C-alpha cells in the first residue's frame, strides 16, 4: 500500500486514466485519455498531459508544463 493520492480542484481527467498511489495532481490540470501516472509523482498546477502518455514514478512536473500526446517521461 502507498500513500494518499490527491487531485486538485478544477482538474479534469478523461477516461482510461491510471493514477497510482501517492500521486499529487495540482489544480486546473488536464489529463486526457489513456494516460498512466506512476506512484509518488507530482504534477504542479495547470499541467496538461496529452493522450496515450506515460509518466514514470517519483517525477516532479512543473507548473504549466505541457506533455505531448504519446510521450514517455522517464526522468
Global pTM reads: 0.94
Residues 6+ apart with CB under 8 A from 1: 21
Grid coordinates belonging to 53 = 502518455
| Residue 73, H or E segment | strand 72-73
Every domain of the chain and the residues it spans: 6-59
Residues with catalytic roles: 21
Give residue-wise pLDDT tens across range 7-21: 999 999 999 999 999
CA distance 3 to 29: 21
Q: What gap in Å lies between CA 18 and CA 64, rounded to an integer?
A: 21
CA–CA dist 45, 48 (Å, integer): 9
pLDDT single digits (tens) 11-67: 999 999 999 999 999 999 999 999 999 999 999 999 999 999 999 999 999 999 999
Amino acid at each position: 500500500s502507498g500513500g494518499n493520492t490527491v487531485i486538485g480542484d478544477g482538474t479534469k481527467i478523461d477516461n482510461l486514466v491510471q493514477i497510482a498511489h501517492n500521486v499529487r495532481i495540482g489544480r486546473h490540470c488536464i489529463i486526457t485519455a489513456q494516460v498512466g501516472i506512476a506512484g509518488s509523482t507530482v504534477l504542479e498546477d495547470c499541467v496538461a498531459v496529452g493522450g496515450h502518455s506515460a509518466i514514470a514514478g517519483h517525477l516532479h512536473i512543473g507548473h504549466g508544463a505541457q506533455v505531448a500526446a504519446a510521450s514517455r517521461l522517464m526522468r
